[in-house]
Amino acid sequence: MRGLPVGYAMQDFGLKFADLAIALAGEIDADHERERNAAHDADITMLWTGHNDVRSFVILGDPAVRLPVKPPILHKEFHHEPGKNCW
């Protein structure tokens, strides 16, 4: 919430997608060089799922919109005493 456009948040998803794509490609290449086992298959499955999930995020609406953010309202710290009603 630094006054940047909403679409700026998608940059992190793009970077994560690239990281997962590189990791997945490396695991698939390594898969050809070694004996397959269930643990390695699980690793590839997790990378594949994360890779496909992160590329599926979308922004509905105008990505150039900037959200109006008010400064936080400072309240006195709330202390709850056990056995007493919170209201």
Per residue in 48-75, pLDDT (tens digit) is: 999 999 988 888 877 777 767 676 666 6
Q: Rounded to two decimals, what is the model's pTM?
A: 0.60
74/86: higher pLDDT: 74
How many structural domains does the chain have? 1
Asked, for residue 72, whether it belongs to a domain, the answer is no
* 34 occurs within a structural domain: yes
Q: Is residue 68 part of a domain?
A: no
On whether the CB atoms of residues 7 and 63 are closer than 8 A, the answer is yes
In a domain? residue 44? yes
| pLDDT tens, residue by residue, 13-62 | 899 999 999 999 988 887 777 777 777 788 889 999 999 999 888 888 77
Residue 60 in any domain: the answer is no
Q: Tell me which residue range forms the domain holding 27.
A: 6-54
Domain assignment of residue 31, yes or no: yes
Could you identify the residue written with the tokens 């590329």?
55
Q: For residue 70, is it within any domain?
A: no
Note whether residue 18 is domain-resident: yes
